[in-house]
Structure 1
Amino acid sequence: MTHQEISYYRLAAQKLLETNSNSPQEIVHHLGAMQAQDYSMAKWAIGSRCNATEKEIEEAIDAAKIIRTHILRPTWHFVSAEDIYWMLDISGPQVQKMTISAAKKYGYDVQKLNQINAAIEKLLSGNNHLTREEIMQELNIKKSSGQDFLAAAIMMHAELEGLVCNGKMKGKQITYALLEERVSKPKTKLNKEEGLARLAKRYFESHGPATLLDFSWWSGFSPTICKQIINAIGLQLNSVAIENQTYWFGNQINKENNFKESIHFLPAFDEILISYKSREASILLEHQSRAFTNNGIFKPIILENSKVIGTWKRTMKKDHAKIETEFFNETESHKKAILFEGIKAFGNYLETKIVIE
């Protein structure tokens, strides 16, 4: 297997290679957790992997088939309802260390955070969905630049405790609701070893071929812990060594598949880049600064045959979406026409006309 093949197989593993009939929640379940701090773009991350429209994805989120919460790393993720509890059990405690540390800067220790959780539970009880600002008003935490960070830490702590998750959208505003009122708790519970094994298997099956350090970055667990997990489930995975680096992947990859031409306009923070510690398989080192910054801001990307060749942005108008592109290298006009065929799926997803400028 070559580095070129790695990027191709990742497309297949991430369900980007062929149009499929999976539902939005099935896509999220397959990938385990999908980074989702940019809500609009995160919905397209799901839509680019299935035939669902933006409206259908929003319906799945409002119906709590897909949960948006903080998990794995201290950022937003989409997680399927069937995965939310066991994933919180294993990853919540490690992320909480960061949120508790942040809250302490404002004089809020664990005891005070737990008292606030009790107040939040009363506020949201009975399927009462409130925005963060509404919750802070009820808690008498005044809005200011500093207090905004405190509010984020308070709500993240409540999420990681399994108390709250996203509620139904209130217009264009995101709300919070009680998790147990949206998703019933499972009758059985995984222990930590079982949960970590399930997380690793899910990652390598949906993101592989990938390395130990890739999994460590994505999961938020240390390389030492990740090595122990991989050793425990190694017989359930395939592996290949390239330049003294071991890449792990699931058994579902068909190495006999012929490569085929593909064009993808993918969203900012898409799993195809952000879920790997090393991204050289998909984007040349000299182009990386044009696709993402050192402080973790990722742009929407254009992939040709599994390689990032440029970036794009969309501006929503009344009756169309305006698309602007920036290619890393000079692109011939006739080739651009072929590339722009790849944006048609985005128009179908938005159910609107696409205008390329």
Structure 2
Amino acid sequence: MTTVDAVPLARAHAQLLAGPRAGGVAEVVRQVVALQAQDIRANRLGVRARSAGLTASDVDAACASGAVVRTWAMRGTLHMLAAEDVAWIVGLLGPRFAAAGRSRRLQLGLDDEVTARGVTALESILAGRSLPRGEIVAGLADHGVVLDPKSQAPAHLLAFAALTGVLCRGADRGDEPTYALFSDWVGPFETLQEEEASARLASRYLAAYAPATAEDFAAWSGLTLRQARAGFAAADHFEPPIVDEFSVRLLGHFDTYLLGYRSRELAVPAEYDRRIQAGGGFIMPAVLVNGRVVGTWRQDRKKGELQVRVEPFGGLPGGLDAALLTEVEDLGRFLGVPAAFHSAG
């Protein structure tokens, strides 16, 4: 196996996207440190691709129990983390992104005084319970903090409160998120000194993303390059295992495997990169073979059946049909619907 082929496969193996799959939701999340969670359905698929035997309802149950927690973390965006990791990771990353969002909050009418009153009101509104955004906005108005529910102001206030350790996501109501006080849902917001936290995060990152560089770590976490390099210097370094196996996985939108590095060049052929990310931060569902993306896929529901269509980059490598069918069938099992496989190649 050539070096250029070995790196993606080693990364996929560390990410549970090759080799043995995990048996539990929290086990998945601990291994990869965090999974993108701005899209609930895609977040569930991130767990499925790395686990065996779980269902979508198992992911929801893990969130409802507090074993895993969705909150704002890496790059200031919504992620799912194991409960025991949330406080120290948010304590490291949150202040940077809370400060970075100030100019946008000002544009939305959330100056420092209004933001502070809003956070104080949230501590009262959410005490002992989880509420969806609409009920929170109504409660804020009752406390004299009036926000336009159609604007981005409520979302930015909630994100600020999460990044400063006041709240996090609670149990979803179907696909509708709720929010709870961090102290109620997770426990005390106990943080670490920056040096210890950055070294710990770098160690965890390397265990799940190596081979990788400090620049990759900075891009994934959102830390400054100075912080990332300092964390790398103090981190436990791992020698990626040499693996030689065959693995096919269907990744959902925003999969962390495609957001975990400064560049996707080792995973996605350059000429097809815009098929994976056409613009902004929207990452398409991808067909992963031995750590390399060979196409995209989409799903439609028709007459009670999940129809999965693969759209390859050029032609698919030979011998993939059986492995793809297995993945599609597992996707249907995970979602609780019959599934059929179609290829455009």
Please, what TM-score do these two structures have when normalized by structure 1? 0.88
Question: 1:185 Cα shift?
Answer: 1.9
For residue 297 of structure 1, the aligned residue among 282, 285, 295 is: 282
Indicate how the Cα distance of structure 1 residues 142 and 160 shifts in structure 2: closer, same or farther if over 3 A, else same.
closer
2:241 match: 254
Question: 1:107 Cα shift?
Answer: 2.8
Structure 1 unaligned residues grouped into runs of 5+? 238-249
8 Å CA contact 1:266, 1:301 repeated in 2: yes
2:201 match: 199
**Mapped partners of 1:64, 1:345: distance in 2:** 26
Aligned length: 336
1:315 match: 300
1:78 aligns with 2:80: yes
1:11 match: 12
**Mapped partners of 1:171, 1:352: distance in 2:** 17
Deviates more, 1:7-16 or 1:163-172: 163-172
Among the aligned pairs, what percent are the same residue? 28
For residue 181 of structure 1, the aligned residue among 172, 180, 184 is: 184
Indicate how the Cα distance of structure 1 residues 334 and 22 shifts in structure 2: closer, same or farther if over 3 A, else same.
closer
2:170 match: 167
8 Å CA contact 2:286, 2:296 repeated in 1: yes
1:346 match: 331
8 Å CA contact 1:264, 1:343 repeated in 2: no
Deviates more, 1:133-142 or 1:29-38: 133-142
1:221 aligns with 2:223: yes
Indicate how the Cα distance of structure 1 residues 11 and 332 shifts in structure 2: closer, same or farther if over 3 A, else same.
closer
8 Å CA contact 1:165, 1:177 repeated in 2: yes
State the AA in 1 paired with 2:241. Answer: N
Question: 1:108 Cα shift?
Answer: 1.9
State the AA in 2 paired with 1:355. Answer: A
Q: Deviations over 1:260-282 (max 9, x none)?
A: 22211111111111111111111
**Mapped partners of 2:96, 2:38: distance in 1:** 19
1:131 aligns with 2:132: yes
8 Å CA contact 2:248, 2:289 repeated in 1: yes
1:41 match: 42
**Mapped partners of 1:338, 1:232: distance in 2:** 41
Question: 1:74 Cα shift?
Answer: 2.4
8 Å CA contact 1:69, 1:166 repeated in 2: yes
**Mapped partners of 1:80, 1:318: distance in 2:** 37
8 Å CA contact 1:99, 1:156 repeated in 2: no
Residue aligned with 1:83, SS: helix
Q: Deviations over 1:34-68 (max 9, x none)?
A: 11111101111012111221111110011111111
Please, what TM-score do these two structures have when normalized by structure 2? 0.91
1:272 match: 257
For residue 284 of structure 1, the aligned residue among 229, 252, 269 is: 269
Question: 1:289 Cα shift?
Answer: 0.4
Q: Deviations over 1:283-328 (max 9, x none)?
A: 1100100111231110000012221111011124563322122111
For residue 153 of structure 1, the aligned residue among 156, 164, 180 is: 156
Indicate how the Cα distance of structure 1 residues 123 and 328 shifts in structure 2: closer, same or farther if over 3 A, else same.
same
Indicate the RMSD between aligned Cα atoms, in angstroms.
Answer: 2.0
Equivalence map 1:15-94=2 (5 Å): 15-51=16-52, 52-94=54-96
Residue aligned with 2:135, SS: helix
**Mapped partners of 1:21, 1:10: distance in 2:** 16
**Mapped partners of 1:305, 1:344: distance in 2:** 19
**Mapped partners of 1:312, 1:112: distance in 2:** 44
Residue aligned with 1:168, SS: coil
Question: 1:83 Cα shift?
Answer: 0.5
8 Å CA contact 1:263, 1:339 repeated in 2: yes
8 Å CA contact 1:282, 1:306 repeated in 2: yes
1:104 match: 106
**Mapped partners of 2:247, 2:90: distance in 1:** 36
Q: Deviations over 1:191-237 (max 9, x none)?
A: 1110000000000111111122111101101222212222223xx31
Deviates more, 1:339-348 or 1:79-88: 339-348
Q: Deviations over 1:164-193 (max 9, x none)?
A: 11111223311111111111227x642111
Structure 2 unaligned residues grouped into runs of 5+? none
Residue aligned with 1:49, SS: coil
Indicate how the Cα distance of structure 1 residues 19 and 38 shifts in structure 2: closer, same or farther if over 3 A, else same.
same
Residue aligned with 2:122, SS: helix
**Mapped partners of 2:269, 2:55: distance in 1:** 32
